[in-house]
Amino acid sequence: MTKPDFELEQALLDRGHCRIAGVDEVGRGPLAGPVVAAAVILNPQAIPEGLNDSKKLTARRRAALDAEIRHSAEFAVAEASVAEIDEINILRASHLAMLRAVEALTPAPDFLLIDGNMIPRGLKTPSQAVVKGDARSVSIAAASILAKNWRDQVMVDLAQQHPGYGWETNAGYPSKQHKEALQNLGVTPHHRRSFKPVHNILYQE
């Protein structure tokens, strides 16, 4: 199984770029909670060992790497809210979160490696979309780790306010427990009303 490496970044460094940020988002699929993006500029001399797609790491390993990334790299994390997701759709909202994360990096990056096959509208920085980027680029993998840890903690915090949906374990994804709680407990302000399972409960005949 291949792991992400520094090849894409090194090629850009060789071309004269010096502040290369990996960008990734987490949380397109859940029925509740914000979508979160992170942008990370790794220090080539201090790349944490074991960076990988956040989904392939245990929670303990993600937490350890999260701390290492925050210690050794430049980073920013940003959100797009449930209201924004419902207003502009999840794809545009995830791109909005990416834009916010990139704009929060100071000094600004001079090149972006973006997970996926689309470059968000409105990005002024030269960019490359990288399909399955979190499995190819350590910078994107680092961004995926920060974004996932941040979002998981948001959902743990929201679970304290709205018990019964299992957000502390399912992070707002449509697990059996979550879908049953939607039927039995109803829709919270943190649910995405534009998502079909939530919409159908709100507008049952």
Per-residue pLDDT of the chain (205 residues; tens, 9 = 90+): 579 999 999 999 999 999 999 999 999 999 999 999 999 999 999 999 999 999 899 999 999 999 999 999 999 999 999 999 999 999 999 999 999 999 999 999 999 999 999 999 999 999 999 999 999 999 999 999 999 999 999 999 999 999 999 999 999 999 999 999 999 999 999 999 999 999 998 887 4
DSSP H helical ranges for 18-119: 59-72, 82-88, 90-103
Encoded tokens for 132:
């399955």
Domain residue spans of the chain: 7-151
What pLDDT score does 2 carry?
Answer: 77
Domain covering 7-151 assigned CATH 3.30.420.10 in the classification? yes
What pLDDT score does 205 carry?
Answer: 45
What pLDDT score does 9 carry?
Answer: 98
**Inter-helix orientation angle 7-14/138-161, to 10°:** 120
Instruction: Confirm whether residue 115 is marked as ligand binding.
Output: yes
Instruction: Confirm whether residue 24 is marked as ligand binding.
Output: yes
Cα–Cα distance, 35 to 14 (Å, whole number): 34
What pLDDT score does 1 carry?
Answer: 57
